[in-house]
Structure 1
């Protein structure tokens, strides 16, 4: 992984108003992978006290896009993705880890797992898969 691509990934992440709003952190990047975290707090929870599914979905979508974009070597967008929620998101921090499964010149198919960290444990709460494409220049 070149320093330039890592710096590019962080500059793109820092330019995302919604990521700043959620206080999300891009905690790791690789040539075809990304990790994003969000600390659980009351304003991000649903009525049962679980981290809201929309926040989990944001994490999966953004991690998929970063992993795919890094694998494609630049700016990218999500063309589609699917998410499966496996259990309520209870814990201190949500962490999404995504990687590219396969890459062509124009798209990457990526997978992501989202876990909740808390009490020294990590529990899987969602799994997602998506297609990431090179951002159009027009």
Structure 2
């Protein structure tokens, strides 16, 4: 049976991911089918033109999508697949990935994620969008009951 997740527990889950720790990722919001993940855009995370590397955006989308699903269906989740569309180069001080559940069922959750950058003045710029399917590996009593 899955445990109920809150922001503190979700942050512990993130901290248990060595790659997330290496990147310096942090959860700034979590709950009610939504999650926000942020990373500081430091030099070693950029590509040769000075923009955030596309792999970094993919990582942020993947994790934000999974955390959003986890906030709706419990901690037993795993990414089944996602797509990402890059809209403009990601540059600024912070990369923010905000994901939300569109539909959660017994075995899958479909989520969307907006990836924005935040500059030093607090101006946000949408740089990519992603959609993902998250597999529910440990259904909760709520998802069992609400499943079609």
Q: Summarize deviations over 1:20-79 as a string: whole Å, max 9, x none.
A: 000011111012110000001110000000011111110000000010111112221000
In structure 2, the partner of 1:103 is 104
- Structure exhibiting the larger radius of gyration computed from Cα positions: 2
In structure 2, the partner of 1:62 is 63
Query: Secondary structure at 1:114's aligned position in 2?
Result: strand
Query: Secondary structure at 1:91's aligned position in 2?
Result: coil
TM-score, length basis structure 1: 0.92
Gaps of 5+ in 1: none
TM-score, length basis structure 2: 0.86
Query: Secondary structure at 1:18's aligned position in 2?
Result: helix
Gaps of 5+ in 2: 139-148
From 127, 130, 138, the counterpart of 2:132: 130
RMSD: 1.8
In structure 2, the partner of 1:72 is 73
5 Å-filtered alignment, 1:1-138, equals: 4-118=5-119, 119-135=121-137
Say which is worse superposed, 8-17 or 59-68, in terms of deviation: 8-17
Contact 2:90 2:127 in 1 (8 A): yes
Per-residue deviation, 1:4: 4.7
Greater fraction strand: 1
Per-residue deviation, 1:5: 3.4
Query: Secondary structure at 1:65's aligned position in 2?
Result: helix
Change (3 A) 1:4 1:111: closer
Give me the whole-angstrom Cα distance separating, in 2, the residues matched to 1:62 and 1:87. 21
Q: Which runs of 4+ in 1 moved over 4 A?
A: none
Q: Summarize deviations over 1:91-130 as a string: whole Å, max 9, x none.
A: 0000000000001111100000000000331000000000
